[in-house]
Structure 1
Amino acid sequence: MESITVLYIILAAIVALGIVVFQYIYKQKAKSKIHWLLAFLRFIGIFGLLVLLINPKFSQKTYTLEKPNLVILADNSTSILKSEDDLQLLISELENSKEVTDRFKIASYTFGSKLDALDSLSFTEKNTNIYKSLSALKDIYAREQTVTILFSDGNQTIGADYSYAKTNPDNTIYAVVLGDTTKYKDISVGPILTNKYAFLKNKFPLETYVSYQGQTSVSATVSVKMNDKVVHKENLKFDGESNFKNIAIEIDANSVGIKKLSVEVTQLPEERNIENNRRSTSIEVIDEKTKIALVSDIMHPDLGALKKAIESNEQREVSILKSNAKNSILEEIDLFIFYQPTTKFKNAFDFAKSMNANTFIIAGSKTDYSFLNMNNVGLEIENGYPEQEVFGLLNNGFTKYDISKFDLTDFPPLISDAGPILITAPYDALLGTQIKGLDVQQPLLAVMEQNSGKQAFLLGENLWKWRMQTYRNTNNFVNFDEFIGNLIRYLTSSKNKSRLNVDYEKVYEGSSNTVITATYFDEAFLFDPNARVTIKVTNSNTKKVQTNPMVLKNGYFEADLSNLIAGSYEFVVSVENESKSSSGSFVISEFDMENLFVSSDNAKMEKLAVDNGGKLFYPSQIKALVQDLKENDAYVPTEKSTENIVSLVDYKLLLGLIVFAFAAEWFIRKYNGLI
């Protein structure tokens, strides 16, 4: 309590005493015991009220003993299945050790591709990301002393190299290596690199490699098959120094459809793991490629960004043309993108109209709006306005196809000098326009359908910045590329607007990422979140049928089919009590990265532990680990004090005492007939 507060309390006592002396001693002639009691009660009441007005504050300190955290981090991937009993026993021994529980607060987690709280170990995770799990724990226990015990075989399939991971200064990582660390002779096939699509009567490339682990000389035969037919065969020789062979071939696409590709290498006599002797993937052979013309008379980074985004789907080919391109070149075009058109574009505009081709007009600071207004493109734009920054606003009511996954977070503004627009044809806006934080109620990006054709327009330049921001946000270009790709697919499609739209991949690498999404709109073409959407999946070979409800997400329905095994499938998405349905087919390639490893990676586990102040242990050394945790002076409970400042007003006892003093005084005075 501060000294000034003490002085105020003393002054309050003097004032209360003065009042009491004046009322009960100075003015009273006869002083009985009753008067002395009343004086005392009056003093208590007045002094209490004055103290409440001063409201002094008191500090209260509480002391707690805080134990350091002991985090058990267990690998839950399929590669640990052989060490299941060892892992369960190790975790149980740590959690039930009195020496450990007396010294630490224990928290248990599992991980595969992401971190989860330990409920039970299933060993079904198809990928291992040790680095991501350690990073998550680093954030969770950023301000606390923590010891992490990592139980794993050290074989990571995705993510950054965990051996270089660094934890917080007060944290330590111990590593316990599971599985067999013996190095066996092994031969394996690497990832298959090829296109998602190939074109009929063309060749497509396939590239992979075969690696060998061992010191003696061996020979093997590698075969490349397409739909179980051998298309390439090669004999390979390896030894301790020459242990890597690259395979690069070209394969003929002779028929349309999804083709299963596999690369196999023969088994070595002493080989223990043959799961990694085979890799497979799929490719879809199509009989046509969409040709798109990007017509522009100026050099601009938007051109490169659009070309990259559109050609991320290999079914599309983009040609950047000048406005004076010959008609013989324009005849081969399926979709025209006019970038900042001027009067020089007249021939190209007229040709596109004569062919009834679909168009995409992108306007910017170099656009001649008078030319656009004269060409009856479905909108009239006022010109003569200065350049300004315009932001995009996603229109969640867009019904032509699903745009709910497009993320505009932190996207920079586009540049536009377009004035107010008058749209003379029915349209649907993908993006609205925001200027200086105000929604100006006009589209930035929209599509129109008229005269059996489709058209889109965008009133802003510098799309390349959006593609760069996508990379900053997600470390890839998928968000932007898919948004532009879906727009191009809509413009090049002749399908009518559908109330049920399904999005899926033709080929899935392994079952872990097999996801199908759908959007359903009511008769007014508003997204219907109350619809019951189901998916019926049939295995093309076994004819086994699986029916699941699709789960409502943020503006779309999703079916997670990660439980399916590798194979070919057909599906039907339908809406309950509606006649709407959509069907398709896909292939899940046979692939499990966790089965490709021969032995545990104890070298990386040891580097991780040593670099973070810990040690490497093996399952047989669990008692040594417990002993180290028990005897290490760095891991001791710490006493922490918490100071709590409490105001006197918060003490209800004082208020009760004041009420009691005044009430007792009043009652005694009345009882004794005193005025």
Structure 2
Amino acid sequence: MEISFDHSYSGIWVLLALLAASGISFLLYFKNKENVSLSPIQKGVLAFLRFASLLLVFLFLLSPLMRKVKKIKQLPILAVALDNSLSVKPYTQTFEQLSKTIKDRFADDYQVEFWSFGEKTQSNGLISGNERRSDYGQMIKTLKSNYINKNIGALILVGDGIYNQGQNPVNFTSSLKFPVYSIGVGDTTLQADAAIRSVKTNKVAFLKNKFPIEMELKFSKLKNKMAYLDIENNGKPVYSSTIPIVSDDDFKLEFVNPEATQTGLQHYKIHIRPFGEELNVKNNDYEFVIQVLENKQRILMLSDGPHPDLGALRSSISELQNYETELVTGNDLPDSLRKYSLIVLNQLPSVKNVASKLLLKIKESRVPVLFLIGPNTLLEQFNTLDLGLKVASSTNTEEVQAVFDDNFSLFTLSNETKEFLATAPPLLSPFGNTEISPVLQNLAYQSIKNIRTSKSIMAFGNDKGRKVGFVVGEGLWRWRLFDFQNNGDHEAFNELTNKIVQYLSLKENEDNFNVNYPALFQETDNIELTAELYNDSYELVNAPDVNIRIKSDSLKEFAYTFDRIDNYYHLNVGNLQPGDYTFEAETQLGNQHFTEKGSFSIVKNEIELQNNQADFGLLYQLAQQTGGKFASIDNYGTLLDAINNNKQITVQQHQQTLLTEWINLKTLFFLLVLLLGIEWFFRKYWGIY
């Protein structure tokens, strides 16, 4: 315990306090003639009492601090994470017994904390075995962030090692500051099984157009057998094929391009016919839903004159049955733009054609726009449009190639197309930096002499309720010709063109009132919808209520009112049963009544049942890379012994310094009162008043 003063020259002030208290006490009792009747001993006692009380008062005025150092012991934390997914549900009682054993064994020497994880990681440690996904990576990240700057000794991870959501947990082990002791449950025996591991497809397709389906298939212990794959649309067969299985651990990647023949929400089911020796046939089926649109869409192309880039685009678009193009040169715009789903501007505004009225009319409309920017584009005028992309003004040009960004998420291109187009002849682009708004995403960056830059060559997004796209370069026709010269067809260029056109032409905000939602939900998803309401100036408002009625295919009806968030509306219905649903939302803005109708589907989520083979290899890898150990559930006792014998897991001690001002110490206050009281008593007793 130490005493310190929050003053410079504190020693001088303490000396002065001693002198002042001594002087006053001496003068009061030894120089005061009224105290002649007191003996020297009585004077000394009273003087000492007054000296002590005055010294305390003076020291209080100097604000001294009482410094006390407290030693604190912190037990190491033992975190226990239990897999709570469906694949380990048969082991819930085993988990409960294991939890009790761990708690009883380590409660005295560790701070034991239980966690459960599946789709989410929770700190309650309650086990039900009902989670429909397993996210080991998120669990590792959650525990890592939760125990920053804490004395965590180890993590005991109990599960089957099967993750089907999030990233590989091994990716996060390098930054862990504690060992992982993993306990494996489940059957690792390779059994005969045919499984549909994953399916990738579009969310939207157009009537009479083909759409891609990519399937990852896994066959185990079925060597030299023939698999039969069937695809149905609303119960009707649309595709069948046979797949030879060449090994006992065979992986297949299958591609199918069926034609969309009906509009609306279309249910598709992929099915692998079961083999007699299979124990798990739930992973032989996969269901998905896509939305098929029927409207034939019109695309308006505007240019100063004929251009080979527009010719290349028109040739690709002509192969899409639901689109037709119209080329207009000069400033002769149609009377109404509402009939068009997309407007393509080729190097407009240009040096020869500022096109101010044309651009103003296009900007006032809500029609999506694709800008093809080249050497003839008048960049000063283009930048004033403020549609999300600005290009530094320059009369010079440079040759650039495309480097595609894997983080682009507005639509998908195959890896083959991206790799091929990255080698295509360069485009002629204005020399200068590009600046894009946060509402846009870069599909590709400019590469100059094989050096990737931060300048955009293709960008897309939604700006103020209108979809916009930009291609910063002239020479797309060379890409189409290059595709044919190398591949004998135009599939790569057509894929790029079709994805751009389909994304831009699919209008999301063509009315004042719009409800946004995905066409497909998993049964574990919260059903969330958002809505936007615009006034006639196209400003977001959310003053009036938005009500919605949702009806299931079993004719059950649910009524809700949207919540207001900022300028938008949001609704979280929670979970609903699998099936098809329709809805009708309505609102009133002034004298205008708006309604919006739509439909969505909820499909079953049985991904946890698609793979029943435990992955102890993953659990072993997690333990090995963090300095821990792995054991099966039958031998977990040896693992608990290893934790007890780990000398690196220790009790941490740290010191806590407590500073207290004297004036806040009640003991000193009562001491002062006691000194003054005793002095007063003796003065009265010895006859001094």
Instruction: Indicate how the Cα distance of structure 1 residues 212 and 130 shifts in structure 2: closer, same or farther if over 3 A, else same.
Output: same
Residue equivalent to 1:126: 132
Q: What's the offset of the Cα at 1:163?
A: 2.4
Distance in 2 (alpha carbons) for counterparts of 1:470 and 1:235: 37
User: In structure 2, which of residues 435, 442, 448 is the aligned counterpart of residue 462 of structure 1?
Assistant: 435
- Counterparts of 1:94-173 in structure 2, within 5 Å, are 94-95=102-103, 97=104, 99-118=105-124, 120-146=126-152, 147-166=154-173, 170-173=177-180
Distance in 2 (alpha carbons) for counterparts of 1:171 and 1:537: 49
SS at match of 1:148: strand
Q: What's the offset of the Cα at 1:139?
A: 1.3
Distance in 1 (alpha carbons) for counterparts of 2:233 and 2:653: 68
Instruction: Indicate how the Cα distance of structure 1 residues 199 and 605 shifts in structure 2: closer, same or farther if over 3 A, else same.
Output: same
Say whether the 8 Å CA contact 2:550–2:559 is kept in structure 1: yes
SS at match of 2:122: strand
Instruction: Indicate how the Cα distance of structure 1 residues 197 and 275 shifts in structure 2: closer, same or farther if over 3 A, else same.
Output: same
Question: Could you list the per-position Cα deviations for residues 443-497 of structure 1 after superposition, in whole angstroms to 9, with x for gaps in the alignment?
Answer: xxxxxxxxxxxxxxxxx983266535999xxxxx9xx966449424999689653
Residue equivalent to 1:17: 22
Instruction: Indicate how the Cα distance of structure 1 residues 583 and 61 shifts in structure 2: closer, same or farther if over 3 A, else same.
Output: same
Say whether the 8 Å CA contact 1:280–1:591 is kept in structure 2: no
- Counterparts of 1:398-477 in structure 2, within 5 Å, are 462-463=435-436, 467=440
Q: What's the offset of the Cα at 1:201?
A: 2.4
Say whether the 8 Å CA contact 2:299–2:343 is kept in structure 1: yes
Residue 516 of structure 2 is aligned to residue 503 of structure 1: yes
SS at match of 1:225: strand
- Counterparts of 1:524-673 in structure 2, within 5 Å, are 531=545, 535-540=548-553, 542-547=554-559, 550=562, 553=565, 556-561=568-573, 563-573=575-585, 582-662=596-676, 665=679
Say whether the 8 Å CA contact 1:534–1:548 is kept in structure 2: yes
Unmatched tracts of structure 1, length 5 or more:
298-302, 373-380, 382-389, 393-411, 418-459, 472-476
Instruction: Indicate how the Cα distance of structure 1 residues 248 and 229 shifts in structure 2: closer, same or farther if over 3 A, else same.
Output: same
Partner amino acid for 2:579?
G
Q: What's the offset of the Cα at 1:222?
A: 0.7
Question: Could you list the per-position Cα deviations for residues 323-349 of structure 1 after superposition, in whole angstroms to 9, with x for gaps in the alignment?
Answer: 759989x99954447687357446695
Partner amino acid for 1:266?
R
SS at match of 1:171: coil
Question: Could you list the per-position Cα deviations for residues 81-103 of structure 1 after superposition, in whole angstroms to 9, with x for gaps in the alignment?
Answer: 232222233223323x1x21011
Residue equivalent to 1:424: none
Q: What's the offset of the Cα at 1:610?
A: 1.4
Distance in 1 (alpha carbons) for counterparts of 2:350 and 2:678: 97
Q: TM-score, normalised by structure 1?
A: 0.70
Q: What's the offset of the Cα at 1:162?
A: 0.9
Q: Which moved more, 1:317-326 or 1:120-129?
A: 317-326
Instruction: Indicate how the Cα distance of structure 1 residues 318 and 602 shifts in structure 2: closer, same or farther if over 3 A, else same.
Output: farther
Q: What's the offset of the Cα at 1:637?
A: 2.5
Q: Which moved more, 1:181-190 or 1:10-19?
A: 10-19
Partner amino acid for 2:142?
A
Q: Which moved more, 1:548-557 or 1:606-615?
A: 548-557
Distance in 1 (alpha carbons) for counterparts of 2:324 and 2:667: 83
Partner amino acid for 2:147?
Y
Residue equivalent to 1:199: 206
Distance in 2 (alpha carbons) for counterparts of 1:82 and 1:315: 53
Say whether the 8 Å CA contact 2:439–2:463 is kept in structure 1: no
Instruction: Indicate how the Cα distance of structure 1 residues 647 and 120 shifts in structure 2: closer, same or farther if over 3 A, else same.
Output: same
Q: Which moved more, 1:30-39 or 1:342-351?
A: 342-351
Partner amino acid for 1:537?
I
Question: Could you list the per-position Cα deviations for residues 279-333 of structure 1 after superposition, in whole angstroms to 9, with x for gaps in the alignment?
Answer: 1222222223545568689xxxxx9xxx9xxx9xx999899999759989x9995
Q: Which moved more, 1:332-341 or 1:126-135?
A: 332-341
Q: What's the offset of the Cα at 1:173?
A: 1.0
Distance in 1 (alpha carbons) for counterparts of 2:176 and 2:611: 33
Say whether the 8 Å CA contact 1:103–1:636 is kept in structure 2: no
- Counterparts of 1:188-587 in structure 2, within 5 Å, are 188-214=195-221, 216-240=223-247, 243-288=250-295, 290-291=297-298, 333-336=340-343, 341=349, 344-345=352-353, 349=357, 366-368=379-381, 462-463=435-436, 467=440, 483-484=462-463, 486-488=465-467, 497-498=512-513, 501-508=514-521, 511-512=524-525, 514-518=527-531, 531=545, 535-540=548-553, 542-547=554-559, 550=562, 553=565, 556-561=568-573, 563-573=575-585, 582-587=596-601
Partner amino acid for 1:497?
N
Distance in 2 (alpha carbons) for counterparts of 1:673 and 1:469: 98
Sequence identity (%): 21
Distance in 2 (alpha carbons) for counterparts of 1:561 and 1:657: 67
Distance in 1 (alpha carbons) for counterparts of 2:107 and 2:17: 54
Q: What's the offset of the Cα at 1:71?
A: 1.1
Q: What's the offset of the Cα at 1:141?
A: 0.8
Partner amino acid for 1:85?
Q
Q: What's the offset of the Cα at 1:586?
A: 1.1
Say whether the 8 Å CA contact 2:63–2:663 is kept in structure 1: yes
SS at match of 1:243: strand
Q: What's the offset of the Cα at 1:170?
A: 4.2
Partner amino acid for 2:70?
T
Say whether the 8 Å CA contact 1:323–1:347 is kept in structure 2: no
Q: Which moved more, 1:29-38 or 1:208-217?
A: 29-38
Q: What's the offset of the Cα at 1:567?
A: 2.4
SS at match of 1:251: coil
Q: What's the offset of the Cα at 1:538?
A: 2.8
Residue 21 of structure 2 is aligned to residue 44 of structure 1: no
Instruction: Indicate how the Cα distance of structure 1 residues 57 and 133 shifts in structure 2: closer, same or farther if over 3 A, else same.
Output: same
Question: Could you list the per-position Cα deviations for residues 67-90 of structure 1 after superposition, in whole angstroms to 9, with x for gaps in the alignment?
Answer: 111112122222222322222332
Q: What's the offset of the Cα at 1:572?
A: 3.6
Residue 87 of structure 2 is aligned to residue 79 of structure 1: yes
- What value does the CA root-mean-square deviation take over the aligned residues? 4.9
Distance in 2 (alpha carbons) for counterparts of 1:296 and 1:26: 113
Q: Which moved more, 1:286-295 or 1:258-267?
A: 286-295
Q: Which moved more, 1:597-606 or 1:231-240?
A: 231-240
Partner amino acid for 1:254?
T
Distance in 2 (alpha carbons) for counterparts of 1:189 and 1:65: 53
Q: Which moved more, 1:598-607 or 1:566-575?
A: 566-575
Unmatched tracts of structure 2, length 5 or more:
394-432, 445-455, 468-503
Say whether the 8 Å CA contact 1:276–1:596 is kept in structure 2: yes
Residue equivalent to 1:63: 71
Question: Could you list the per-position Cα deviations for residues 111-165 of structure 1 after superposition, in whole angstroms to 9, with x for gaps in the alignment?
Answer: 2233222263343333222112111211111222321111222111122211232
Partner amino acid for 1:622?
Y
Say whether the 8 Å CA contact 2:389–2:436 is kept in structure 1: no
Residue equivalent to 1:474: none
Q: What's the offset of the Cα at 1:607?
A: 0.3
Say whether the 8 Å CA contact 1:293–1:336 is kept in structure 2: yes
Q: TM-score, normalised by structure 2?
A: 0.69
SS at match of 2:622: helix
Instruction: Indicate how the Cα distance of structure 1 residues 637 and 16 shifts in structure 2: closer, same or farther if over 3 A, else same.
Output: same
Partner amino acid for 1:611?
Q
Residue equivalent to 1:426: none
SS at match of 2:239: strand
Distance in 1 (alpha carbons) for counterparts of 2:163 and 2:342: 45
Partner amino acid for 1:143?
N
SS at match of 2:215: strand
Instruction: Indicate how the Cα distance of structure 1 residues 555 and 118 shifts in structure 2: closer, same or farther if over 3 A, else same.
Output: farther
Say whether the 8 Å CA contact 2:333–2:358 is kept in structure 1: no
Say whether the 8 Å CA contact 2:343–2:368 is kept in structure 1: yes
Aligned length: 568
Partner amino acid for 1:517?
T
Q: What's the offset of the Cα at 1:221?
A: 0.7
